[in-house]
Amino acid sequence: MASETWVAFPRWLASAVPGEPVREDWGVAVRGALIVDVAPSGHLRRNFAGARVVELPDCLLLPGLINLHCHAAMSLLRGVGDDLPLKTWLEERIWPLEQALMCEDFVADGSALAAIEMLLGGVTTVNDMYFYPEHALTAMRAAGMRVVAGLIVVDFPSAYARDAEDYLRKGLALRDRWLGDPLCSFSLAPHAPYTVSDAALREVAVLAAELDLPVHMHLHETALEIEQSLQQHRMRPLRRLEHLGLLGPELIAVHAVHLTVDDISCLAACGVHVAHCPHSNLKLASGFARVEAMRKAGINVGLGTDGAASNNRLDLLAEAATAARLAKAVSGKAEAFGATEVLHALTLGAARALRLDQRIGSIEKGKEADLVAISMQSVHHTPVHDPLSHLIFVAGREDVLEVWVAGQAVVSRRQPVGLGLQGALQRVGARSAMWQNRVEEVLAGRP
């Protein structure tokens, strides 16, 4: 069973390999976790005559989507205090709730909920950052998802850890325990310039180099962050990271909303990757990231949903549509960030930022079979003149028909079929009502 061979025949295949067009009448052969062939359908039907066949009429097959920035557990706090000024939202809603509710179970249940939502929407890999990363990782891996666990570091104490050293020690121990899992990898995740000290950031830079780990960090999200850094450190956060040895191809800068022309050149020259989270940036009124300018400068840009408390959909297809449209308006060019480039950001670009591009991010022989089939059979896809345009500008997550992670079917006919995913669904169904009551108690001042 683990090395069963099967062949999928979609109507269109978007490999996400740079330069390759969308193919019609091509298919993919999978054995165990791996893609063993990508070729015209006739060739595959001859060469894999005994294999199980998965027919995908009217479907576009593409690599699994990669969510380059998430706080999965926050799905339990979705819609708690929308339409409030940022300060009120944080001080009167998010922080008191986190303080009252933060524990292993909160993270496990919220992350399971998020993993289900993401998998049903075609997201096969998530780059996560939150307290209790081992419980997030365990819950999301159990649901069947590929996870990059962010080893969170902040200076302030939480229920999870005492200080920066404690966060780091716990994170590294977690990494040691999970090193053998094939669907799990790690990043160092210092939260943001304003929550981590110079000393801790220096330690992160050393560890990133020693252990060859990516670094996942909020950067230049708001104007206030930059202002405060100028007051406190007499330099912009980006320059501070440069001084601390953190600006390099290991860094995934999340948001990167407020960048000067010099900042963009600097990020490009250092090979820093950017996780663009347009819904969060708009909803929190953080500002407009200059994605097209970053891309033109050579910066590798991926897309992230951020957490459900500030988005409020963990829906990477919707994020992609917004990113594409927004880049056009921000740059003033209708040709900016076209569908091909957005597909790259959703897949291979994000995989590269996570150092997983040798294993996932495109449909190529030898890569792992993280695959998504988008159905284009419904009225809103009638007719399809350009399947890639429909993927980015028309398709919604309701069109995600089939999802595989490392060759295993997780979603089929829009329904959860993976045993892990079904188990996660049962678990969160029972527990979310309890969390809802707890949230309401805290907001009512009865924690």
d(CA 255, CA 60): 30
Q: How far is the CB of 110 from a copy of itself (least distance, A)?
A: 10
Shorter beta-carbon distance to a copy of itself: residue 279 or 359? 279
> Given the DSSP bridges, would you call strands 371-375 and 52-63 parallel, antiparallel or unpaired?
antiparallel
Query: Which residues ranging from 373 to 402 are in contact with a copy of itself (CB under 8 A)?
Result: 379-380, 382-386, 389-390, 392-394, 396-398
Q: How far is the CB of 396 from a copy of itself (least distance, A)?
A: 6
Dihedral sign from CA coordinates of 138, 145, 190, 278: negative
Asked if residue 315 binds a copy of itself (CB under 8 A), the reply is yes
Query: Which residues ranging from 21 to 60 are in contact with a copy of itself (CB under 8 A)?
Result: none
Query: Which residues ranging from 338 to 357 are in contact with a copy of itself (CB under 8 A)?
Result: 338-339
Pick one of 13, 54, 65, 113: the residue that binds a copy of itself (CB under 8 A). Answer: 113
Grouping H, G, I as helix, E, B as strand and the rest as coil, residue 64 is coil
Asked if residue 428 binds a copy of itself (CB under 8 A), the reply is yes
Tokens (6 digits) for 331? 């740059």
d(CA 444, CA 446): 6
Pick one of 7, 318, 371, 405: the residue that binds a copy of itself (CB under 8 A). Answer: 318
Q: How far is the CB of 227 from a copy of itself (least distance, A)?
A: 14
Pick one of 76, 108, 353, 403: the residue that binds a copy of itself (CB under 8 A). Answer: 76
Tokens (6 digits) for 445? 């001042």
State which amino acid sits at residue 209. A
Pick one of 62, 326, 346, 363: the residue that binds a copy of itself (CB under 8 A). Answer: 326
Burial class (CB in 10 A: 0-12, 13-18, 19+), 385: exposed
Asked if residue 325 binds a copy of itself (CB under 8 A), the reply is yes
Question: Which residue in the block uniquely carries the two structure tokens 């091909």?
Answer: 340
Q: Is there a contact between 373 and 8 (Cβ–Cβ < 8 Å)?
A: yes
Please state whether the peptide bond connecting residue 383 to the residue before it is cis, i.e. omega within 30 degrees of 0: yes
Q: Which helix (H) or strand (E) holds 61?
A: strand 52-63
Pick one of 2, 49, 50, 83: the residue that binds a copy of itself (CB under 8 A). Answer: 83
Query: Which residues ranging from 254 to 293 are in contact with a copy of itself (CB under 8 A)?
Result: 279, 281-288
Question: Which residue in the block uniquely carries the two structure tokens 């330690």?
Answer: 203
What is the longest distance spanned by two Cα atoms in the chain? 68
Residues that bind a copy of itself in the complex, under the rule CB under 8 A: 76-80, 82-86, 89, 113, 116-117, 120, 279, 281-288, 311-315, 318, 321-322, 324-326, 328-329, 331-336, 338-339, 379-380, 382-386, 389-390, 392-394, 396-398, 425, 428-429, 432-433, 435-436, 439-440
